[in-house]
Amino acid sequence: MTEEAGYFDEMVRGDEIVRQPYSEYENWFSSQDPTRLTKKSKEAEAFFRRIGITFNVYGQSAAQERLIPFDLVPRILSNREWTKLSRGIEQRVRAINAFLHDIYNRQEILRAGRIPVDLISKNEAFLPQMIGMTPPGNVYTHIVGTDIVRTGEDDFFVLEDNARTPSGVSYMLENRETMLQMFPELFSKIKVQSVSDYPKNLRRSLAACAPRSCNGRPTVAVLTPGIHNSAYFEHSFLANQMGTELVEGHDLRVVDGKIAMRTTRGYKTIDVLYRRVDDDYLDPLNFNPDSMLGVPGIMDVYRAGNITIANAPGTGIADDKAIYSYMPDIVEFYTGEKAILKNVETWRCSEPDALAYVLDNLAELVVKEVHGSGGYGMLVGPAASKRELAKFAAKLKSRPGNYIAQPTLALSTVPIFVKKQLAPRHVDLRPFVLVSPQGINITPGGLTRVALKAGSLVVNSSQGGGTKDTWVLED
């Protein structure tokens, strides 16, 4: 495998020496029959198809439901690398939770002038219904997915924070299970930290956030929009793994001031609802009146302190990409420490000077919608045609506040198995974080998303990317 020029390769140095975390894996790989590995790759695909690990691609009439491509070469991080990463992630998640509590209560960061007031007051992700509200256990972000990219040996950057309904953890778990089944001998040679406790830890973490009105063991349920949602596989998978009920809005109602789910024995009170429904659809009495996905009156029950909603309504403001550009200030304001993990340089197109710079350099930049996700609505300047650049420039001029821009990062590469050999492809990483009054738990590794097309920097599954198992080595 040759290193792609200009990019940090996580497996092989420029002098063709294999980096230490990959040394034992490379010894194993070089002794394998490529034909066997090709067969294993097909077996993995058949397994994923059989158990239904698919996702929906919105906006396309044909082949909407797709299989997420899986690559059988793991991404490997040393214990030292992970220790630094996890410290930075924990610091950032603590700051995000403190920030959310502040902006919905005292708003000290606004009074201190560290963030412009308009960035909050005019932000569609800010929920006035949450003002003065402190969730049970003072936890707003129960589950966080922090997207991280790497550009060098010790250069890790946070690309974005996912504090609403981060997805992908089921793929992390199934990727590991698939690798354990296909290559059990590898795990006896190489000591890899386990990820299998995630569902148990998720259940325990959610239960620890139960409201004070809860009597006895908390009842936890997962709220899904239904089978047509792109992440429905994950919703059902997590409910099954946690041993909790998977419910839809029509299964729930307000009974005696609490939220209860329909069962064969009547209605049963729910204490903690892990919702995978966006804020706008959560409660037709308080938000979108046309929503058929939520529960009428759930916000009133929530404000009365009779249910925990995870993640809390209104956390989407921490996902906002304009807010993201202030994260170093946010971390320092609430922790008193400099941010361990760096931000990517960001231009806020709402600012005239920044907009002028972005328009002048559009062909070299990545431009994203401030509320966008999944790779939709973004422009990758170096990969865009002149026509696409001109069309996007018109969008920027008409709604500059809707966009931010960032430099095109030299994302690190890791090997994938293609045509019986290894080839470098660009990746990012989404570690998963659980927050409760008992503390912060970070699963070692996370979901590695990989751009399967040579040279591509877009790793989202909705844009043609795949996934691979992520190994964090034991010390």
Q: Which of 214-218, 293-297, 372-376 has the lowest mean pLDDT?
A: 372-376
The yes-or-no verdict on residue 62 having pLDDT over 80 is: no
Instruction: Identify the pLDDT of residue 196.
Output: 96
Residue that wins the pLDDT comparison between 14 and 52:
14
Average pLDDT over residues 297-310: 97
354 three-state secondary structure: helix
Instruction: Identify the pLDDT of residue 470.
Output: 98
Instruction: Identify the pLDDT of residue 457.
Output: 81
Compute the C-alpha angle 171/173/177, nearest 5°. 110
- Joined together, the tokens standing for residue 433 give 């974080």
Q: How many angstroms separate the CA atoms of 458 and 197, rounded?
A: 30
Angle between helices 169-182 and 232-242 (to 10 degrees): 70
Instruction: Identify the pLDDT of residue 176.
Output: 96
Tell me the sheet residues that pair with 343.
158
Average pLDDT over residues 98-102: 98
Instruction: Identify the pLDDT of residue 370.
Output: 86
Average pLDDT over residues 331-351: 95
The yes-or-no verdict on residue 10 having pLDDT over 90 is: yes
Q: Which of 66-80, 83-97, 196-210 has the lowest mean pLDDT?
A: 66-80
**56: confidence class by pLDDT, cuts 50, 70, 90:** low
Instruction: Identify the pLDDT of residue 86.
Output: 97
Compute the C-alpha angle 102/326/93, nearest 5°. 60
Summarize pLDDT for 375-391 with one digit per residue, the tens. Answer: 567 898 998 999 999 99
Q: How many angstroms separate the CA atoms of 215 and 213, rounded?
A: 6
For residue 328, the surrounding DSSP H or E stretch is helix 327-335
Q: Residue 206: what residue type?
A: L
For the chain, count helices (H), then strands (E): 14, 23
CA distances from 232 to 53, 54, 102, 248, 263 (A): 10, 9, 33, 11, 21
The yes-or-no verdict on residue 60 having pLDDT over 60 is: no
Average pLDDT over residues 116-125: 92
- Joined together, the tokens standing for residue 222 give 């997962």
The yes-or-no verdict on residue 256 having pLDDT over 80 is: yes
Average pLDDT over residues 30-42: 93
Average pLDDT over residues 141-167: 94
The 3-state secondary structure of 66-90 reads EECCEEEEEEEECHHHHHHHHHHHH
Average pLDDT over residues 219-246: 95
Instruction: Identify the pLDDT of residue 5.
Output: 63
Angle between helices 34-51 and 169-182 (to 10 degrees): 140
> How far is residue 38 CA from its own chain's centroid?
30
Which residues neighbour 373 within 8 Å (Cβ) at sequence distance 6 or greater?
162, 319
Instruction: Identify the pLDDT of residue 61.
Output: 46
Q: Which of 45-59, 110-124, 301-315, 421-435 has the lowest mean pLDDT?
A: 45-59
Q: How many angstroms separate the CA atoms of 430 and 466, rounded?
A: 13
> How far is residue 115 CA from its own chain's centroid?
24
The percent of residues in the chain predicted with pLDDT above 90, rounded, is: 81
Q: What is the mean pLDDT of the chain?
A: 92
CA-wise closest residue to 272 among 216, 223, 212, 206: 206
Instruction: Identify the pLDDT of residue 63.
Output: 44
Q: Which of 17-31, 258-272, 439-453, 457-471 has the lowest mean pLDDT?
A: 457-471
Q: How many angstroms separate the CA atoms of 316 and 322, rounded?
A: 12
